[in-house]
Amino acid sequence: MYTQFAQDLRLARRKAGYTQDDLAHLLAIQQAKVSALEQGVKRPSLEEIVDLSLVYGRSFESFFSSLLSERKAALQNRLERLPNLRRVTAHTYNRAGSLRRFKHRLKRSSVDG
């Protein structure tokens, strides 16, 4: 996943004609962090994700499609292994319906994405 993101980030930077120093300045981070992002060693923060989307004019979904796919798969896996409730209470009354809708959203979005 991060390898694909790292490659996309490096390619986007090079297509834009930016240096790592340019991008570091725009993101208010050290050049070493840009290098680590492009090598897949570090993950961007939420603020850096937003900044990257703005700098390159790309939506979050297009820029981070591999991460979204990975997280959807992980959530589907955990959803399938979610333990059964020991007892239903007023606080858990909507649980079954919410889980059903969540599962549907994950399946629908995995077809879309």
Interval 87-97: pLDDT, tens: 889 888 899 99
SS percent in the chain: helix, strand, coil, step 5: 75, 0, 25
**Dihedrals phi, psi of 41, to nearest 5 degrees:** -80, -35
Residue type, 60: F
The Cα–Cα gap between 55 and 29 comes to 14
Does the CA dihedral 47-48-49-52 come out positive or negative?
positive
Q: What per-residue confidence (pLDDT) applies to 68? A: 81
Non-local CB neighbours of 109 within 8 Å, separated by 6+ positions: 72
Residue 40 structure tokens: 């897949």
- Domains of the chain, residue spans: 2-63, 71-112
Superfamily of domain 2-63: lambda repressor-like DNA-binding domains (1.10.260.40)
Query: pLDDT for 43-55, tens place per residue?
Result: 899 899 999 999 9
| Residues of the chain falling short of pLDDT 70 | 1-2, 110-113
